């Protein structure tokens, strides 16, 4: 009897995972859609979100010259509001030249080492988090781009 | 440089209760934590926060080491007149930051 229940549960779990894999993209929901009104209000209030302090730091870093090349992010990428729109939604991505997947932080550090000729930021360091938060901010509200839909 | 985010309604009716929110970036190092060599990190916290409405103090807070990094304050006041609401944070090692916001009361 117990074995029968277990078999039913495993069967149910399998069917759930099959269904989960087949949700069409139009019916996928953000966790935001499941939040209560109060939680949404908190998330929508940028002045109560300490992450926005990091975004402000990142905005300052974006235009600060660094490294022996003496270039800032803005010197190549210009205004982040247009040039970085949707970028964070495409990461992590597979980097064909390096033959490995890279995330947004690694992408920023690659730019920093190759273009700015500067020492890469330490992983999870304040500056790297700030720049990632600032770049990520430009893709706010955009759906994460699935690797299967990428060219 | 400390970054601060403040939220004051731009407009209010006279007599309305308005909510003010402030958030400032600060490590709030307690003075009780050792670094990776075992030496205690010196205390570095914000100790005072003052909010003034057209120069008159309406809210004050004293902060202690147990208060988290990036202190967030929210409080209410009555919109009495148009003018400036100013904020001042001060603390250890000569820390000082100021911000202000305009409010129009109709």
CATH of the domain at B10: 2.60.40.10
Residue B98 belongs to domain spanning: 4-105
Chain B contact present for A45, CB below 8 A: yes
pLDDT computed for residue A13 by the predictor = 47
Tell me the pLDDT of chain A (151 aa) as tens digits. Answer: 445 454 444 444 444 444 456 777 778 788 888 999 998 888 888 888 888 999 999 999 999 999 899 999 999 999 999 999 999 999 988 888 889 999 999 999 999 999 999 999 999 999 999 999 999 999 988 888 766 555 4
Smallest CA-to-CA distance from B90 within B6, B19, B24 is with B24
Distance (Å, whole) CA B43 – CA A112: 34
Distance (Å, whole) CA A145 – CA B5: 31
Q: How many domains does chain B have?
A: 1
Distance (Å, whole) CA A102 – CA A90: 11
Chain B contact set for A53 (CB, 8 A): 3, 5, 23-25, 70
Which chain A residue has its CA at the smallest distance from B2's CA?
A53
Which chain A residue has its CA at the smallest distance from B1's CA?
A57
β A100-102/A93-95 pair status = antiparallel
Cβ distance B25 to A53 less than 8 Å, yes or no, reads yes
Greatest Cα pair distance, chain A, in angstroms, is 73
pTM of the model: 0.77
Chain B contact present for A114, CB below 8 A: no
Does B77 score more than 70 pLDDT? yes
Q: Chain A closest CA to B28's CA: distance in Å?
A: 14
CA B71 to chain centre: 7
Tally Cβ neighbours within 10 Å of residue B79: 21
Chain B contact present for A57, CB below 8 A: yes
Mutation target to probe the A interface, by most A beta carbons within 10 A, among B6, B24, B25 is B25
Cβ distance A46 to B72 less than 8 Å, yes or no, reads no
DSSP H helices, B1-106, are none
Which residue among B5, B6, B74 sits closest to A53, beta carbon to beta carbon? B5
Given a contact cutoff of 8 angstroms between Cβ atoms, the answer to whether B105 and B89 are in contact is no
Q: Which one is predicted more confidently, B14 or A23?
A: B14
Chain A contact set for B7 (CB, 8 A): 45, 47-48
Given a contact cutoff of 8 angstroms between Cβ atoms, the answer to whether A109 and A118 are in contact is no
Which residue among B6, B25, B70 sits closest to A47, beta carbon to beta carbon? B6
Query: What token pair was written down for A91?
Result: 């990461």
C-alpha distances in Å from residue A8, one per residue of A18, A22, A50, A67: 15, 21, 46, 61
pLDDT computed for residue A21 by the predictor = 65
């Amino acid at each position: 009897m117990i074995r029968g229940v277990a078999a039913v549960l495993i069967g149910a779990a399998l069917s759930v995972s099959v269904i989960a894999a087949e949700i069409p993209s139009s019916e996928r929901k953000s966790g935001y859609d499941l939040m209560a009104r109060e939680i949404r209000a908190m998330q929508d209030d940028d002045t109560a979100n300490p992450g926005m302090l990091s975004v402000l730091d990142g905005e300052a870093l974006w235009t600060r010259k660094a490294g022996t090349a003496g270039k800032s992010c803005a010197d190549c990428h210009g205004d982040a509001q247009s040039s970085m729109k949707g970028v964070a939604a495409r990461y992590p991505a597979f980097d064909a030249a390096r033959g490995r997947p890279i995330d947004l932080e690694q992408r920023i550090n690659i730019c920093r080492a190759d273009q700015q000729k500067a020492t890469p930021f330490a992983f999870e360091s304040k500056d790297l988090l700030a720049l990632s938060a600032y770049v990520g901010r430009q893709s706010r509200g955009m759906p994460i781009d699935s690797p299967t839909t990428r060219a | 440089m400390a970054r601060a985010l403040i939220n004051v309604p731009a407009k209010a009716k006279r007599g309305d209760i308005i909510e003010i929110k402030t958030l400032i970036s600060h490590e709030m190092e307690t003075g009780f934590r050792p670094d990776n060599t075992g030496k205690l990190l010196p205390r570095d916290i914000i100790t005072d926060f003052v909010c003034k409405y057209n120069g008159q103090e309406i809210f004050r807070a004293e902060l202690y080491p147990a208060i988290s990094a990036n202190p967030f304050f929210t409080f209410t006041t009555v919109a009495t007149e148009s003018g400036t609401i100013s904020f001042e944070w001060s603390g250890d090692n000569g820390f000082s930051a100021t911000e202000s916001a305009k409010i129009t009361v109709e």
